[in-house]
Amino acid sequence: MRLLRFAETAHLATTLTKLAEHPIAGEVTREARGFLGELFSERDAAGAAMAVRASVGLEDELVIAISCETLARRLLAAWK
């Protein structure tokens, strides 16, 4: 989540787009895009829940869950 919070979304999306087209990294990168959407783009998704459990006591649980949802959706929208 730190990567999504602190990296510039457009730059990260551009890098991932290039990786998705790479002959070696492409397939796994495209697969990762699906997992990002499935696991983090809803605040009650499994990945967001794991992030909440991993950060107990560090930040409000709802903030973590909403951050996962918002940041994943933002990246997926920018990742063409």
Write out pLDDT tens, residues 60-71: 999 999 999 999
Domain boundaries along the sequence of the chain: 2-78
Round to whole Å and give the CA distance between 49 and 54. 9
pLDDT band of 1, cuts 50, 70, 90: low
pLDDT in tens, 4-34: 677 899 999 999 999 999 999 999 999 999 9
This prediction has a pTM of 0.86
Residue-wise DSSP of 57-69 = TTS-HHHHHHHHH
Radius of gyration, alpha carbons of the chain: 13
